[in-house]
Amino acid sequence: MKDYRVALGKTRRWVIKVGSSLVTNQGQGLDAERLADWAAQIAAIKRAGVNDVVLVSSGAVAEGMRRLGWKKRPSAIYQLQAAAAVGQMGLVEAYERQFQTHGLHAAQVLLTHDDLADRKRYLNARSTLRELISLNVVPVVNENDTVAVDEIRFGDNDTLGALVANLLAAEVLVILTDQRGMYEQDPRQNPDAKFIDVASADEPQLEVMASGGGVGALGRGGMVTKVRAAKRAARAGAITVIASGREPNVLVRLRQGESIGTLLYPAQEPLAARKQWLAGRLQVKGRFRLDEGAVRVLRESGKSLLAVGVKDVTGDFQRGELVACDGPDGLEVARGLTNYSAAEAQRIKGCSSEKIAEVLGYVDEPELIHRDNLVVMK
């Protein structure tokens, strides 16, 4: 069996979720020492090779309550939204201050379910996050509690972490909590309960175990939401680690392959899982007819599809929809998610990437289909 602990040391893109109990001072606003520690650990794993790190952090409501002088968490949605609006200022300010001591910048990114359900907004969010991490900035992501209502809330930051992992095709999702990890039974009721070190994220019994024991029942979620988040992340090939954020230097030690927490691995390799997901999608919205050079590049080099290699465009599709790629003989050679609509693709077909801005007046992406969102058909 593959040593997934060792495999963590070779990964380059992590999404890290920290819960409220790990960033606040017993509910009394943000804990500066804890935030300093998270910033130091993230800086350390970036130096160790995790080039792309996105942090999903709770704490805005607690900080807002402190700033407003509220002693009791309100139940009214508009009051929670007001607290979040005030608290977000403190949260991103605190992270920025801590990351700056390590030569890094933080960026605030607020998302709602609608942002990731709508394909155009999904792609815009992905492009923004990719650009931020390419600039060596650490995005600090949170649910946009200021505008979210019950119908569109993620419900917990575990789910948000998994959605961000899928959005970025992250290799690792780390969910940090105040529990050691996952057990087959509630260890508070059964001291002899077996700890789960490594398991497949698709193991059906995991959710049963998580819902029965109530281990790590924090915030809105609990262990069940963490297991479901791991399953969601695994669909795009990400490894999930559920571990205690109170373990000293937990992120650095995970990066070094140390056995900490519960590791839930995908049924397939990250790239294979995403490619299978793309290949299995049936609704092709349009087609690109490629020249021989583009076909050869896709088949032999595994590179992205550029507009210069496209001879013709058919169909009516929008940015982010599935498009088939045919060779000169009309046979499908690949399919993927397009970065441009049919109307835009018609205008830039045959153009080099450098001329896209000249033709359209803007550039969404230099590639027509990025290689991460493209599968070559056998």
- Give pLDDT tens digits along the chain (378 positions): 578 899 999 999 999 999 888 998 876 789 999 999 999 999 999 999 999 999 999 888 889 999 999 988 888 888 888 988 999 999 999 999 999 999 999 999 998 777 776 767 878 888 899 999 999 999 999 887 666 555 435 557 888 899 899 888 899 999 999 889 998 887 777 888 899 999 999 888 888 888 754 433 323 457 888 998 998 888 778 999 999 999 999 999 999 999 999 999 987 665 565 666 566 555 789 999 999 999 999 999 889 999 999 999 999 999 988 899 999 999 999 999 899 999 999 999 999 999 999 999 999 889 999 988 888 886
Contact 27, 63 (CB under 8 A): no
151 and 23 within one domain:
yes
The whole-model pTM stands at 0.76
314 and 185 within one domain:
no
CATH number at residue 367: 2.30.130.10
296 and 149 within one domain:
no
Domain boundary among 231, 258, 273: 273
The radius of gyration of the chain's CA atoms, rounded to the nearest angstrom, is 22
181 and 77 within one domain:
yes
371 and 261 within one domain:
no
Q: CA 57, CA 59: separation in Å to the nearest integer?
A: 7
357 and 238 within one domain:
no
Domain boundary among 244, 273, 302: 273
> Cβ of 312: how many Cβ atoms within 10 Å?
14
Q: How many domains does the chain have?
A: 2
326 and 243 within one domain:
no
Q: Which amino acid is at 102?
A: H
165 and 71 within one domain:
yes
111 and 139 within one domain:
yes
Q: CA 303, CA 260: separation in Å to the nearest integer?
A: 36
211 and 350 within one domain:
no
Residue 49 lies in domain: 4-273
Q: CA 337, CA 214: separation in Å to the nearest integer?
A: 39
CATH number at residue 133: 3.40.1160.10
